[in-house]
Structure 1
Amino acid sequence: MKRSTDRILTSHVGSLIRPDSVVSYLRDKQAGKPVDEAAHEKSLAEEVKLVVKQQKDAGIDIPSDGEFGKGISWSQYVLERMSGFERRPFKPGINAWRAGADRTRFAAFYDEMDAKEGMATTMESVCVGPLSYTGQAAVQRDIDHLKAALKANGVEEGFLPVASPTSVIPDRTNEYYKSDDDILVAIAEAMNTEYKMIVDSGIVVQLDDARFAVTYDRMVPPASFADYKKWLGRQVELINHSLRGIPEEMVRYHVCWGSWNGPHTTDVPLKDIMDEFLKIKANCFVIEGANPRHEHEWKVWGNGHFPKGKMLATGVISHATNVVEHPELVAERIVRIAKLIGRENVMAGTDCGFAQGPFYRRVHPSIMWAKLEALSEGARIASKELWGK
């Protein structure tokens, strides 16, 4: 994995807004309409090449495939790559998203947002049998497309974002395993296949995990903070179990407080979870740092709290606002972190993905690219200050 040896490197969390060709194909497929799989496969390969070029042109050093190969959202896509689950309609009136202290306090806001953005969940995922990984062909396709795109654009390093076992198919119902812990172990063991295939191909793997931090909002109260910390410790064990046999230097780990554009008044503070967060067997930690609820937390990395030899891809661009950050502000965010943990340990990134899945985007595509350009320009300004050239 590259380090910022002579300048600040740039990347992002992974998910980019899908092109019309991908969206149209997936809409037709989900609607049961006839689709041309061969034509889609050819088109998808070209779209991945194009989006890697667009990232390079915007100044991104370490690009992804934009998650173009995933047919559902960033975490639900696993339904198409794992046996043992079935989908059922929720009973009328049930919304699986209606949970958590923030949603309780701002219920009217969330009702309005869900209705406007179509976020209400209508189907539940039920585990009805033993879990095993069956998505080898799908992940190999993603690998092949990204490797071809990197080669075609002269890019040395890329990454594939995938769901952490903690966030695989959240809000699921278990009807097969004896306990929730048993199903988590099964998920961790199954996902190792996906992670290992990616790394063995020479591509960096990034584990995406929204539930690591967000579960605090859903658990406390009525549970205590001690209960949450105990749960957190177990999740770290499961994540590391899913990474068995995989070199740390090929792993990025992303954690956020959820990517939705809401109040976030009950988010757990970073200082309260950073000890567990840093136990993950990853080389690069990708974390929010630009939104107004968490930007102040850059200070927690001081006093030697960040481990030697690791990388921090701190968010210097928000995915959840149409306001394009000024490069000078981006540079300020980078420099203050670099002065705490060392310039070679810092990478400039985004808070989260610009698209939650194929059908939902956080900003307009033109704004997404403007933000990535601002990120890259800010990194250039910061590099001049940090290296003096």
Structure 2
Amino acid sequence: MPPTARRIRTTHTGSLPRPRALTRLHARRARGEAVDAAELAAASAAAVAAIVPKQRAAGIDIPNDGEQGRESFVLYLRDRLTGLGGSSSRGGFQDIEAYPEFKAEMQAGMAGREAASVTTNLPAAIGPVAYVGEAAMAAECAQFRAALGDAEGFMAAPSPGILAAIVQNQHYATDDAYLAALAKALGAEYRAILDAGFTLQIDCPDLALERHGAWQDRPLAEFLAFSERVVAAINGAIEGLPRERIRMHVCWGNYEAPHDSDVPFEDIWPVIREARVGGFVLPFANPRHAHEHRVFRRLPLAGDQVLVAGVIDTLTHFVEHPEVVAERLERIAESMGDPARLMAGTDCGFDTSAGRGRVAADVVWAKLASMAEGARIASGRLFGAG
């Protein structure tokens, strides 16, 4: 992730809409139904081959595979780790539970929808966790490389913290031991992505989301201590790997809700910035956190780090005007003090669990194209570039 020089380049956060037939296969498999492996592999390969040129056409400089072959940004790992089985239960989020009318409408909107869930049919850690996904990861990387060619691209993998939050510990004596085991296992996936020539994005919603999730009834200090342990575990997992090719994504959850229980960015940034990565992917488009880039005036990024700023909301069908995108980028660049290290991105993925995305596919591409145009406009103002 080198500095973007004289132009604001574009990327996004990860998942993109999957074809309906592929979504159906992922959803069935996530429910525990039998799915033909060859059919799923063929559908995933076709989707990846199609998604890369679509990103190019929309003006995305650094694309990915859209996570087409994964049921979700995290639970695809149920097939790549040993020691998983049984069941976990995941509690609710504070901002949803506080509004029962909203919660009922939200549940009604999802009823009967063909989608992979991250709240039901969850496994637990019932034995020693180890990584056995080498062949699957190699195939995934090769598939993306075939579609991408020699160009620059990124692939994502989850943090040990979010995996621990969803797949509960029923084996290790302490949660810290479980976190260490997950970090060691995920380190194999991190290295595989880098070895394949891609930028690695580590998805860490736990570093913000879990404050109003698993830690909602605990003091802020305890949540921050948890976050410090996660960041330390990640730093251990990526030790010796090329820092400049690793970026970290943090968000407060990719769901439309009040979000008035979200922990302020200024409270968590001192911990997050301890991650030894080359850049951060952070959401600044949504109405709850759009102002928080001002934190960088007081606590800046390191001089060699890049910021991928979310300037597109992934939860609304509004297509942001390019001038709105440009203004957002200019404001963030002012807070950073260095537009050469700013990139344009999305707040989160558009379909983090197959079928649960809120934005229709044709609107997704319009939003990404508008983001690219906005980045071009901002580049002209900030650098005098065309």
Provide TM-score, normalisation by structure 2.
0.92
Matched letter for residue 205 of structure 2: A
Aligned-partner SS, 1:279: coil
- Take 2:313 and 2:91, find their aligned partners in 1: how far apart are those partners? 23
1:206 to 201, 224, 228: 201
Which secondary structure does the structure 2 equivalent of 1:167 belong to? helix
Deviations 1:180-235 (A, max 9, x none): 11111100000000000110111111011111111221356532222222222111
Could you say which residue in structure 2 is the equivalent of 1:335?
330
CA distance in 1 between partners of 2:352 and 2:299 (Å): 34
* Cα distance, 1:58–1:83 mapped onto 2, change above 3 Å: same
SS at match of 1:259: coil
My pick for the range that moved more, 236-245 or 214-223, is 214-223
Tell me how far apart the structure 1 counterparts of residues 311 and 321 of structure 2 sit (CA, whole Å): 10
Range 122-131 or range 328-337, more displaced: 122-131
Question: Residues 289 and 316 of structure 1 are in contact (CA less than 8 Å); yes or no, is this contact kept in structure 2?
Answer: yes
Per the TM alignment, residue 297 of structure 1 is displaced from its structure 2 partner at its CA by: 0.7
Match of 2:372 among 351, 356, 376: 376
1:27 is displaced (CA, Å) by 4.7
Aligned partners of 1:6, 1:120: CA distance in 2, in Å? 41
Q: Which amino acid aligns with 2:317?
A: N
Task: Tell me how far apart the structure 2 counterparts of residues 303 and 309 of structure 1 sit (CA, whole Å).
Answer: 17
Does residue 1:106 correspond to 2:102, yes or no? no
Decide whether aligned partners of structure 1 residues 82 and 34 sit closer, same or farther in structure 2, where only a CA change above 3 A counts. closer
Deviates more, 1:111-120 or 1:249-258: 111-120
Pick closer, same or farther for the CA change 1:74–1:358 going to 2, 3 Å.
Answer: same
Query: Given the alignment, which residue of 324, 340, 361 partners 2:357?
Result: 361
Q: Whole-Å Cα distance in 2 between the matches of residues 27 and 120 of structure 1?
A: 11
Aligned with 1:130 (options 128, 131, 141): 128
User: Which stretch shows the higher mean deviation, 277-286 or 299-308?
Assistant: 299-308
Q: 2: distance between equivalents of 1:144 and 1:188?
A: 24
Secondary structure class of the residue paired with 2:165? coil
How far residue 237 of structure 1 moved from its aligned partner, in angstroms, is 0.7
Cα distance in 2, alignment partners of residues 197 and 352 from structure 1: 23
Greater mean alpha carbon deviation, residues 194-203 or residues 41-50: 41-50
RMSD after superposition = 2.0
Quick check: which one's strand share is greater? 1
Match of 2:224 in 1: 229
- Letter paired with 1:101: Q
Residue 255 (structure 1) aligned with residue 245 (structure 2) = no
CA distance in 2, matches of 1:384, 1:80: 46
Q: Which residue of 2 aligns with 1:96?
A: 90
Deviation at residue 120 of structure 1 after TM alignment? 8.2
1:77 equivalent to 2:76? Answer yes
Unaligned runs of 5+ in 2: 112-116
> Which residue is equivalent to 2:383?
387
Residues 14 and 64 in structure 2, CA contact (< 8 A), matched pair in contact too: yes
Normalized against structure 1, the TM-score is what? 0.92
Whether 1:175 and 2:205 are equivalent positions in the alignment is: no
After TM superposition, which residue ranges in structure 1, 4 or more long, deviate above 6 angstroms? none
Give the secondary structure class of the aligned counterpart of 2:372: helix
Aligned residues: 378
CA distance in 2, matches of 1:304, 1:226: 19
> Residue type of the partner of 2:348?
C
Distance 1:103 1:212, change over 3 A: same
Report what 2:114 is aligned to: none
Residue of structure 2 equivalent to 1:197: 192
Q: Secondary structure at the match of 2:128?
A: strand
Q: Does 2:17 match 1:17?
A: yes
For the residue of structure 1 that corresponds to 2:212, the secondary structure is helix
SS in structure 1 of the partner of residue 344 of structure 2:
strand
CA contact (8 A) 2:251 2:282 kept: yes
Equivalent residue number for residue 35 of structure 1: 36
Give secondary structure in 2 for the equivalent of 1:79.
helix
Larger displacement relative to structure 2 (318-327 or 167-176): 167-176
User: Aligned partners of 1:87 and 1:300: how far apart in 2?
Assistant: 43
Contact 2:81 2:131 in 1 (8 A): yes
Identity %: 36
In 2: Cα distance, 1:9 partner to 1:141 partner:
28
Aligned to 2:58: 58
1:244 aligned residue: 239
Provide closer, same or farther for how the CA distance between residues 63 and 362 of structure 1 changes in structure 2, counting only shifts above 3 A.
same
Q: Deviations over 1:308-335 (max 9, x none)?
A: 1100001000001111111000000111
Q: 1:305 offset after TM fit, Å?
A: 1.8
Deviations 1:37-96 (Å, cap 9, x if unpaired)? 0x54344333212211000000000001000121x22111111110101143x7xxxx73
Taking the aligned partners of 1:218 and 1:254, their CA distance within structure 2 comes to: 18
Aligned 8 A contact 2:123 2:167 in 1:
yes
Distance in structure 2 (CA, Å) of the matches to 1:34 and 1:295: 42
In the superposition, relative to structure 1, how do residues 304 and 116 fare at CA in structure 2: closer, same or farther (>3 Å)? closer
Question: 1:11: Cα distance to partner?
Answer: 0.3
Task: Encode CA deviations 1:82-126: one digit per residue, 9 max, x unaligned.
Answer: 0101143x7xxxx7342x431331133123313422568332322
Question: Using the alignment, how far apart are the partners of 1:259 and 1:227 within structure 2?
Answer: 23
8 Å contact from structure 1 (residues 75, 169) kept in 2: no
Are residues 240 and 114 of structure 1, via their aligned partners in 2, closer, same or farther at CA, if it must alter by over 3 Å? farther
CA contact (8 A) 2:154 2:198 kept: yes
